[in-house]
């Protein structure tokens, strides 16, 4: 029997691009059972668009009584999904027509499946055909997924699909998680793991209101700005809190994974509390192949030396 797919779609002031995203969802070769949209108190015409589409397509929507914020709004939308599988959608992207069909066919017995994605600008012009290739994103082998995901998130939420019962393992999303998809990825490594489709299935839109400023990350000036930014220490404090949460709440399966988490906690502590991060570099060097798999040696060494400062 054909599996039913729900789409969790949080919205907030997304009227500029929302129609394009909804059209791409309802033009899928594998049609979703429902789109579950939860609006986080928009002040533009977002809710009007949702109401319009709900009259003609299988879209249900709710409007929050007060602002929840991006992560908790995603959590709310996921909790309302009824399909056998749940896919996550951002309000301003565009899905390629075979996205759902491909993810359903590739998940197998894994807990979650995700894919590569391309990047487009505000006008829909492609600015990078592959996020993974452009930023040298590590995609690990199955037996090192925990190590890589504990360090760098390779699970992009807008590309994800997972079984409905995974909700019981990932909700509520802890504040220490930093991002919902990072939390889903690390929890999936403790279940049946992550399937990765090395194919761009989403066109991820870059514009001035993005929370992820991806375009800046691949420029030399952007990398230098990040390395020397005052904000970097604040980011590393959050990273260390994330690792501490994994340790305190036993988000690991064996002593090897626990020791890795302890090393990563020390890694972040070095960055937070020293000017030249010799210890942080040494730890990253020790685990370089499991933390940074499937990227070029040059990209790996650039990343490692970036940890010195």
What confidence score (pLDDT) does residue 209 get?
60
* 53/195 same-domain check: yes
Share of the chain above pLDDT 90, in %: 88
Q: How far is CA 138 from the centre of its chain?
A: 14
Q: What is the pLDDT of residues 125-183, one digit of tens each?
A: 999 999 999 999 999 989 999 999 999 999 999 999 999 999 999 999 999 999 999 99
* 56/183 same-domain check: yes
* 154/61 same-domain check: yes
CATH code for position 193 = 3.90.550.10
Classify residue 211: in a domain, yes or no: no
Q: Average the pLDDT over 14-35 and give the result.
A: 98
Query: What is the number of domains present in the chain?
Result: 2
* 157/225 same-domain check: no
User: Of the given ranges (112-126, 227-241, 279-293), which has the lowest mean pLDDT?
Assistant: 227-241
* 193/288 same-domain check: no
Whether residue 199 is preceded by a cis peptide bond, meaning omega within 30 degrees of 0, is no
Residue 103 tokens, joined:
């993810």
Q: What is the pLDDT of residues 54-89, one digit of tens each?
A: 999 999 999 999 999 999 999 999 999 999 999 999
What confidence score (pLDDT) does residue 224 get?
43
What confidence score (pLDDT) does residue 232 get?
84
Q: Identify the residue with better confidence: 218 or 56.
A: 56
Distance CA 88, CA 162 (A): 9
Distance CA 197, CA 103 (A): 8
* 268/134 same-domain check: no
Distance CA 119, CA 129 (A): 6
Q: Which of 177, 205, 233 is the last residue of a domain?
A: 205
Classify residue 269: in a domain, yes or no: yes
Classify residue 213: in a domain, yes or no: no
Q: Which residues pair with 5 in a beta bridge?
A: 85
* 185/282 same-domain check: no
Res 296 pLDDT > 70: yes
pLDDT band at residue 229, thresholds of 50, 70 and 90? low
* 166/226 same-domain check: no
Looking up tokens 């929050």 gives 64
Q: In the chain, count H helices and then E strands.
A: 15, 9
Q: Which of 176, 205, 234 is the last residue of a domain?
A: 205
- Which helix (H) or strand (E) covers residue 286, if one does? helix 278-286
Residue 62 φ then ψ, to 5°? -130, 155
pLDDT band at residue 220, thresholds of 50, 70 and 90? very low
Continuous H helices in 87-154: 99-106, 131-135, 145-151
pLDDT band at residue 210, thresholds of 50, 70 and 90? low
CB 159 within 8 A of CB 114: yes
Q: Which of 179, 205, 231 is the last residue of a domain?
A: 205
What confidence score (pLDDT) does residue 226 get?
46
Q: How much is the mean pLDDT over the chain?
A: 93
Of residues 88, 86, 156, the one with CA closest to residue 118: 156
Distance CA 99, CA 169 (A): 25
Res 9 pLDDT > 50: yes
* 43/20 same-domain check: yes
Q: Average the pLDDT over 188-202 and give the result.
A: 98
What confidence score (pLDDT) does residue 223 get?
46
Cα-only R_g, the chain: 19
Q: Which long-range contacts (CB under 8 A, 24 or more apart) does 134-141 make?
A: 134/218, 135/214, 135/217, 135/218, 136/295, 136/296, 136/299, 136/303, 137/295, 138/291, 138/292, 138/293, 138/294, 138/295, 139/196, 139/198, 139/293, 139/294, 140/290, 140/293, 140/294, 141/293, 141/294
Range of the domain at 223: 219-306
* 281/168 same-domain check: no
Classify residue 252: in a domain, yes or no: yes
Res 212 pLDDT > 60: no
Res 215 pLDDT > 60: no
Distance CA 164, CA 157 (A): 15
């Amino acid at each position: 029997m054909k599996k039913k797919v729900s789409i969790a779609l949080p919205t907030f002031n997304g009227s500029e691009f929302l129609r394009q995203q909804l059209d791409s969802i309802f033009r899928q070769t594998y049609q979703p059972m429902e789109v579950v949209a939860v609006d986080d108190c928009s002040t533009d015409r977002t809710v009007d668009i949702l109401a319009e589409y709900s009259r003609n397509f299988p879209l249900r929507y709710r409007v929050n009584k007060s602002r929840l914020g991006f992560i908790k709004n995603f959590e709310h939308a996921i909790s309302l999904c009824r399909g056998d599988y749940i896919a996550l959608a951002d309000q301003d992207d565009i899905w390629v027509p075979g996205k759902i069909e491909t993810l359903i066919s590739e998940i197998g017995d894994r807990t979650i499946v995700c894919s590569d994605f391309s990047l487009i600008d505000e006008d829909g012009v492609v600015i990078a055909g592959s996020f993974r290739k452009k930023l040298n994103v590590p995609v690990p082998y199955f037996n090192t997924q925990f190590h890589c995901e504990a360090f760098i998130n390779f699970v992009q939420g807008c590309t994800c699909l997972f079984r409905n019962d995974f909700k019981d393992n990932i909700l509520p999303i802890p504040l220490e998680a930093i991002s919902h998809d990072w939390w889903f990825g690390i929890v999936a490594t403790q279940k049946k793991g992550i399937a990765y489709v090395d194919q761009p299935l989403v066109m991820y839109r870059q514009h001035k209101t993005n929370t992820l400023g991806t375009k800046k990350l691949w420029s030399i000036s952007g990398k230098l700005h990040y390395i020397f930014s005052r904000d970097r220490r604040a980011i590393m404090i959050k990273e260390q809190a994330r690792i501490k949460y994994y340790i305190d709440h036993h988000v690991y399966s064996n002593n090897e994974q626990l020791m890795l988490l302890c090393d990563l906690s020390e890694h972040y502590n070095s960055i937070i509390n020293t000017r030249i991060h010799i210890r942080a570099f040494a730890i990253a060097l020790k685990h370089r192949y499991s933390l940074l798999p499937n990227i070029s040696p040059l990209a790996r060494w650039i990343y490692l030396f970036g940890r010195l400062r």
